[in-house]
Amino acid sequence: MPPTALEQQLNFLREIDRLKSVVRQSPLLDQSRKENSAEHSWHLALYALLLHDYAAAPVNSNRVIQMLLLHDIVEIDVGDFPLHAGFSSDVQAKQEAAAAVRLFGLLPPQQGSELLALWQEFERAESEDAKFAKALDRLQPLLINVFTGGGTWTENNVSLAQVVSRYGPVIKRGAPQLWAVCEQWVIRHFAGQTAGSQHKQ
């Protein structure tokens, strides 16, 4: 007997429980441990709910929230690719695309196709919703690094120029007002480091 739609949906919901075990590079703000991709996705959805007025162009905040809830589930198959690790983005993109097909393929066909399309829209980063979602996905770890006195920047010996080039374009494109604030934080952070007094919360 083929599975019912509900059985397929519950199977998907069980499968994505595994995202809670995918550990990211960024710590929690209290630095007690590293963040996982499920709680990161929760946090980002709330960034979208609160900050959508700062998008570069009008966005549908509910679509952005849905994108951000789903954007990392491919990491269940392929893991997290850290921003500062220098992986090939082609290899990463292919592996993630295959993971998306497998995971959304667990769902009833119509629902699976719609959510796969939403995930692909996020990855393409061309629509206003996707550009804003991408900006938030870059903003949240930047905020963590600033407010934990360096975080993954310190661990990876990343310079001010590298931070500006790796975070700036994506955040600026999707949320220019937010980048203006981030840029000031980043400059202050690296100025404090140079002076030997790490920026602490």
Structure tokens at 39: 């709680």
The CB-of-86 to a copy of itself minimum distance in angstroms stands at: 28
Indicate the SS3 state at residue 32: coil
Q: Which residues bind a copy of itself (CB under 8 A)?
A: 6, 9-10, 12-14, 16-21, 28-30, 32, 35-36, 38-39, 41-43, 45-47, 49-51, 54, 62, 65-66, 69-70, 107, 111, 143, 147, 177-178, 181, 201
Closest distance of CB 131 from a copy of itself, Å: 19
Length reported for the chain: 201
Q: What is the 3-state secondary structure (H, E, C) of 47-73?
A: HHHHHHHHCCCCCCHHHHHHHHHHCCC
Distance, in Å, from the CA atom of 186 to the CA atom of 100, rounded to the nearest integer, reads 34
**Shortest spacing between CB 66 and a copy of itself, in angstroms:** 6
Q: Provide the minimum distance between the beta carbon of 113 and a copy of itself in the complex, in angstroms, as a whole number.
A: 14
| For a copy of itself, the closer CB: 101 or 181 | 181
Rank residues 47 and 190 by Cβ distance to a copy of itself and give the closer one.
47
Comparing CB distances to a copy of itself, the nearer of 30 and 90 is 30
**What is the rounded (10 degree) CA torsion for 176, 177, 180, 183?**
-70
Q: Do residues 131 and 173 make contact, with C-beta atoms less than 8 angstroms apart? A: yes
When the beta carbons of 140 and 157 are compared against a copy of itself, the nearer one is: 140
Give the gyration radius of the chain's Cα atoms.
18
| Residue number, 32 or 88, with CB nearest to a copy of itself | 32
Instruction: Supply the minimum distance, in Å, between the C-beta of residue 5 and a copy of itself.
Output: 9
Contact between residue 68 and residue 133 where contact means Cβ atoms under 8 Å apart: yes
